[in-house]
Amino acid sequence: MGEYFNKDEKKVMISNGFFDTTKAHVELSGGFQPVEFSFASIYDDFPIELVGLKNPFRGGLDIEETEKMLIENGNDVKMILITLTNNSRAAQPVSMKNMKEVKLLCQKYKKPFWIDASRINENAAFIKLYEERY
């Protein structure tokens, strides 16, 4: 459950993948513990012939794993942060669909939803080019 989860810590921040500097600030902020739930498929092969034609949007937050954490340790989770694009996971973009799912999860469990938007323009371009409806 989470790459770095330590049950002794009581302040957890969940993300799809923290920028290195964001992660350092989280850790130095007085006891927050960064926990990352990215898709298991993040490093799966992608056919070279599909590059420029489609994108699998592998940078999102794993909703199922995050919800398990919220059910089991919800009081410890203080916020959920989405990094656009997911720089710590091969700079993979996050789909609009995944961001909406995260928003609904945050509403359901009454958790703040933050976006680390350092590369939001690049992520938006991926959405516009490769996600239906946008």
Under 8 Å between Cβ of 111 and 78: yes
- What per-residue confidence (pLDDT) applies to 7? 56
47: its two tokens: 């056919």
- The whole-number average pLDDT for the span 23-51 is 84
Q: What is the pLDDT of residues 47-102, one digit of tens each?
A: 889 888 888 899 999 999 999 999 999 899 999 999 999 878 878 999 999 999 99
Cβ atoms 30, 78 nearer than 8 A: no
The domains of the chain, with CATH numbers, are 11-130 (3.40.640.10)
